């Protein structure tokens, strides 16, 4: 080995030791609450990617999109018939264009009723509440009952919530929070939104 190679091997051995020590310390087995927030692109796609990972292990998933179905998204078309997923889109059939607040609140509450049942059902291994954060921002839903249901969920159930901004009460109870930063977005360079990338 050259001196450079020896140095590299020593650095790697040290790094391995640090990682092994951390792995040895992480012994608790339980589900986690993951928040994916920020202004950049990639929050919902990350949530769907993690759900696909869980499905690969034969786990059961519950998914609620807390946005109004404007068009059929690729994720909906791909996952909707999967036997291990219960896929719900809030107020499917309505659009933002209606601007009917009463109808919006009703749709949000109906979606929450489904979410609440999932949070009480241990047969779901992973739940994704896509864009749920807007429900609190627009005051369509109260945060307290959501926090309570998340805290009382089955021990091994994993939950992922996405949205640009997160309510502080959710931030407080989360285990993992990742922020997707907006460094560049093709839209600002005049690139049109496209199937397979945007929806």
**Structure token pair of residue 34:** 């993951």
Distance separating alpha carbons of residues 195 and 76, to the nearest angstrom:
12
Place of tokens 């310390």: 25
**Burial class, 46, CB count within 10 angstroms (exposed 0-12 / middle 13-18 / buried 19+):** middle
Q: Do 77 and 195 meet the contact criterion of CB atoms below 8 Å apart? A: no
**Structure token pair of residue 77:** 């078309």
What does 39 bind: ligand ATP, Mg ion, none (CB cut-off 5 to 8 Å by kind)?
ligand ATP
Place of tokens 């292990």: 57
| Residue ranges that bind ligand ATP, judged by CB under 6 A | 39-45, 131, 162, 164, 180, 182, 185, 187, 193, 198-199
Under rule CB under 5 A, residue 133 binds Mg ion: no
**Bridge partner list, 92:** 94
Q: How far is the CB of 73 from Mg ion (least distance, A)?
A: 10
How many residues sit close enough to Mg ion to count as binding (CB under 5 A)?
A: 2
Among 33, 35, 36, 44, binds Mg ion (CB under 5 A): 44
What does 187 bind: ligand ATP, Mg ion, none (CB cut-off 5 to 8 Å by kind)?
ligand ATP
What does 72 bind: ligand ATP, Mg ion, none (CB cut-off 5 to 8 Å by kind)?
none
Q: Do 48 and 173 meet the contact criterion of CB atoms below 8 Å apart? A: no
Phi, psi of 149 (to 5 degrees): -65, -35
Q: How far is the CB of 188 from ligand ATP (least distance, A)?
A: 7
Distance separating alpha carbons of residues 151 and 33, to the nearest angstrom:
9
Distance separating alpha carbons of residues 128 and 107, to the nearest angstrom:
17
Q: How far is the CB of 162 from Mg ion (least distance, A)?
A: 5
Rank residues 88 and 164 by Cβ distance to ligand ATP and give the closer one: 164
Rank residues 112 and 129 by Cβ distance to Mg ion and give the closer one: 129
Rank residues 47 and 153 by Cβ distance to ligand ATP and give the closer one: 47
Rank residues 41 and 80 by Cβ distance to ligand ATP and give the closer one: 41
Question: Given the rule CB under 5 A, which of 18-26, 42-50, 102-110, 188-196 is the region that contacts Mg ion?
Answer: 42-50
Task: List residues binding Mg ion (CB under 5 A).
Answer: 43-44
């Amino acid at each position: 080995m050259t001196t450079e190679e020896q140095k590299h091997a020593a650095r790697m051995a040290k790094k391995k030791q640090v990682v092994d020590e951390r792995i040895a310390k992480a012994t608790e087995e339980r589900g986690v609450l993951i928040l994916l927030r920020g202004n950049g692109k990639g929050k919902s796609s990350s949530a769907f990617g993690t759900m696909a990972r869980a499905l690969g292990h034969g786990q059961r998933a519950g998914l609620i999109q807390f946005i109004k179905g404007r068009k059929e998204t690729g994720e909906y078309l791909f996952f909707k018939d999967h036997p291990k997923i219960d896929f719900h889109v809030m107020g499917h059939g309505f659009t933002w264009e209606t601007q009917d607040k009463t109808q919006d609140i009703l749709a949000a509450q109906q979606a929450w009723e489904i979410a609440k049942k999932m949070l009480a059902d241990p047969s779901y291994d992973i739940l994704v509440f896509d864009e749920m954060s807007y429900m609190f921002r627009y005051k369509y839903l109260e945060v307290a009952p959501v926090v309570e249901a998340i805290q009382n969920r089955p021990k091994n159930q994993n939950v992922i919530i996405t949205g640009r901004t997160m309510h502080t009460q959710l931030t407080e109870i989360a285990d993992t929070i990742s922020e997707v930063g907006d460094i560049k977005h093709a839209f600002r360079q005049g690139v049109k939104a496209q199937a397979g990338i945007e929806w």
